Chain A
Amino acid sequence: MLNYETILSRDAFLLSVELRLFWIIALAYGLAFILYAFHIVTRAIPAGKAARSIMWAAAFLHVLLIIFRTFEGGRAPFQTLYESLSWFACMTALVYLFVSRDLKKVYLPGIFVSGVTMSVSLYALLSRTPAIDPLSPPLKSWWFEWHVIFAFFSYAVFVVGAAIEASHLIVKPFLKRGYDRCLGFTPGMMDKFHKKAHRLVAFGYPLLTFTIISGAAWANEAWGKYWSWDPKETWSLATWTVFTIYLHCMTLERFKGLPASVINLAGFAFMLMTFLGVNWLAKLLGIPSLHVYAV
């Protein structure tokens, strides 16, 4: 049997290796962000290419990091906010890289995605505890684990959807003014990008629906009440409602253009509020808010 000394120093060593790796990944996302910015300013294609390659390397390392954390903790690494932020950043990078296979010379969405992955990773590293603490009993539930996995997966998909939607909205006025190309976009690509954003939301929406239903099922198992209108629950319902509106708009000729795009971006803003800024509005208005689970 191992003695405490050995166990503690082994665990501390593993944690410090993990933290180093996570820092390298966060900095790689940061470097990709800078290169994307450089590409946008100078239009230099090699900068865009290099940024995408760095994103690939960072995402690969990030997958390794998540596997490492699984072994380190001896459990699925989706249970604390530090862990779910890391999973979210990794999924966002992977979804973007998957989607960007056929974006060819378009690098603009990359700046949003790398900005998000960098900020989220830094937020986890700087503000959340990396400790592998035992979970409080209510959180030990099959429902909770899948709830978190799908929640952050859907958020990742929505981030990429919003990045693509925002990029196409940014270049649209330039192309309308008669430019035949802007940051790799051509006028013929506008519709394709709008549809791509739609496909991404369509992919994320059932995941978000599952998140809400599984959250309610878990609350019902743990507390006997499937809904209690706490800010986190309410924000997630608001986000789901906004994406429902978006999907409905996309089926109507009169709303499927700019109004739908704006609603998609609003959905993204709501999603950010759901998992980062739940109490932020309340604080801004000086209103004492309820305590919410930090996961």
Chain B
Amino acid sequence: MQESLKKRFFNLPPNVCTGGWLYKKLSSLTTSIYVLGLMAVFFVIGTIFPQGESFSEYVKSGGGFTFFVENLGLLDLFVTPVFLILSAVLLINLAVCVYDRYAPLFAKRVFQRGFSPDKTIYLTHGIAGAHVEVRRVLKEDLGFKLIFKDSEWIIMEKGLPMRLLTWAYHAGLLLCFFGLVLTYLFAFEDTMTLSPGKLQPISMKEPGRVQSLWKSSHTDRSFGLSLDEFSAEYVQAPRLDYPKDKLSRLAMGLGWKGREVALELKDDSIAPKNWRSRVRVIKDGVFAEAHTIEINDPLRFEGYTFYQTGYEQKLKVRVDASPILLETKTGEEIFLPGIENPLKFGDLKTGALYRLDGSVDRLIPFTTVKQARDANGPKDKRSYDDLGRLEQDGSITVDGRRITLAGIEESAVLSVRRDPGVNLLWTGGFITLIAMALRFYGGFYTAAYRVMEADGITLLEVCLSTKGLWTNRESILRRLEYSLTRDDLKLTPLPDDAG
């Protein structure tokens, strides 16, 4: 009861909603609760069905509920009309709330009477002196500011402007939402493969949803990228000899099994550390900018962003002494003349190797060679035999044929993206985070009090409400009482043996 009275007293909205039924619904917090609830249901469904997968892939990998998946678009749930409409409702709800609560932030607040005090403090001052002293303590000792006053009640506040902060993070979220909409409508992306020394113009095959209404499938730009060098770095990664099964781990952990963990370093114990592409931007035929693109360091140029997503490796192999070089990509099967079953070359390792002892070496480029046990049946079901390691200019013999790794070529695979929504998204996100952190972790107090006289005794009734985690209501009340009564004569109990 006291809580609701307090709420009425402090949070009475000064504006009275004048809009119609729809406006009222759209500015209502209850609507947002139901819409957010529905969104949560959609999100959960979206975690169950693999988003972005094609229906045929889904069926091939044994997925069930195919009728619903196909007809309700469950593999692309977040672009289905139902979800888009729901998002639009939330967006409008949020926009109306932000709009509706803007003016009241600056309007003169009206406070309604009627609250029960949290604390009553008896004062030794006369009524006039008590008024002055209480105001002085709240203002000077405790930092409160006067907000409202009538013949009986006085309201003072201190702390961060919580209502403004609550409004600000909702407005920040609204900006984020607009950013998402811009991305959804206008963003587009593509991948490009850069080979060393070749200038590659920027060409986007699929424009954004809106651009595709008037543009053909190509957006050619006046600039291009040229790859100076693609390089990789590796680091030695010792392998841990530690059991995988739970029982053995438990036995080791409880000391029943005297085995110790061990680390071992083999020839192939290396892991990628970084990939980078040194590129130059050529605009209208002249050099414009140079940048080394790394995985977490993209290149930004004229609204386009280029990301290092991977690499493509081509190998040139010679069979016996043939003058013809055969070209293959790593990770793909190749049939070589005179060899019955196809071969597969593993990732080429080339570049710098950071060793455990702190030294850095250049790797002699090498790949690993595998051979399929048979050439029939689907590729993804085949099993392979390891044939070993093949270094650049080195050879390996398979089915009596000498296979030499005669040349290598590495290209950088970049993804290029133009997204006019991100800046708005980050701005909104930043505002949201700052305002939210201040709102939740900061502190705000409202004190309503009256000083009165009853039966010749002056007393102070205070009601103190707080917002934010950085508040200590009891401490403020204690400090208030201490400051007002510190000079009073205190009644002390008589010593035990007095009587």
Contacts and interface: CB of A to CB of B under 8 A. Distances in A.
Tell me the dominant secondary structure on chain B's binding face: mixed
Contact of B64 (A2, A137, A237, A286): A286
A238 B40 contact: yes
Interface size range on A against B: 35 or more
A41 to B, nearest CB: 26
Given A206-B436, A224-B305, A8 B64 contact: no
A286 B62 CA distance: 8
Contact of B46 (A8, A234, A249): A234
A290 B50 contact: yes
B33 A245 contact: yes
Contacts of A23: 253-254
Contacts of B53: 290
Contacts of A222: 295-296, 307
B99 interface: no
B1 to A, nearest CB: 11
Most buried by B among A127, A241, A273: A241
Interface string B219-248: 000000000000000010110101000100
Contact of B295 (A4, A138, A210): A138
B240 A129 contact: yes
A66 to B, nearest CB: 18
A177 to B, nearest CB: 23
A235 B51 CA distance: 13
Interface string B303-339: 0010101000000000000000000000000000000
Nearest to A133: B237
Contact of A238 (B43, B296, B305, B307): B43
Given A4-B356, A234-B46, A126 B246 contact: yes
B237 A134 contact: yes
B476 to A, nearest CB: 17
A228 to B, nearest CB: 8
A273 B40 CA distance: 13
B433 interface: yes
Contacts of A248: 29, 32-33, 36
B271 interface: yes
Contacts of B37: 245
B50 A287 contact: yes
A203 B416 CA distance: 38
A199 B473 CA distance: 14
Given A137-B274, A288-B58, A131 B242 contact: yes
A125 B254 CA distance: 12
B265 A287 contact: no
A287 B48 CA distance: 7
A73 interface: no
A170 interface: no
B262 interface: yes
Interface in A138-162: 138, 140-141, 143
A202 interface: yes
A251 B50 contact: no
B51 A290 contact: yes
Nearest to B46: A234
Interface in A58-114: none
A154 B360 CA distance: 40
A282 B48 contact: yes
A234 B433 CA distance: 20
A229 B36 contact: no
Given A4-B356, A249-B33, A285-B64, A19 B253 contact: yes
B492 interface: no
B45 to A, nearest CB: 9
B63 interface: yes
Interface in B17-59: 29-30, 32-33, 36-37, 39-40, 43-44, 46-53, 58
Contact of A1 (B49, B296, B359): B359
Interface string A267-295: 00010010000100110011111100000
B151 interface: no
Interface stretch (B140-148, B203-211, B390-398, B422-430): B422-430
B440 A202 contact: yes
B250 interface: yes
Contact of B47 (A11, A15, A199, A278): A278
Interface string A224-239: 1110111100110110
B14 interface: no
A33 interface: no
A180 interface: no
Contacts of A223: 307, 309, 415
A222 B53 CA distance: 22
A136 interface: yes
Going nearest first, the 3 A-B pairs with the smallest beta carbon separation are A238-B43, A224-B307, A23-B253
Given A134-B237, A137-B275, A137-B296, 5 more contacts: A7-B357, A138-B296, A209-B436, A224-B415, A253-B7
21 contacts: A2-B357, A7-B356, A7-B357, A11-B263, A12-B260, A125-B249, A129-B240, A134-B235, A137-B272, A206-B440, A209-B432, A222-B307, A224-B416, A228-B52, A229-B51, A242-B40, A253-B4, A255-B33, A281-B48, A285-B65, A290-B53
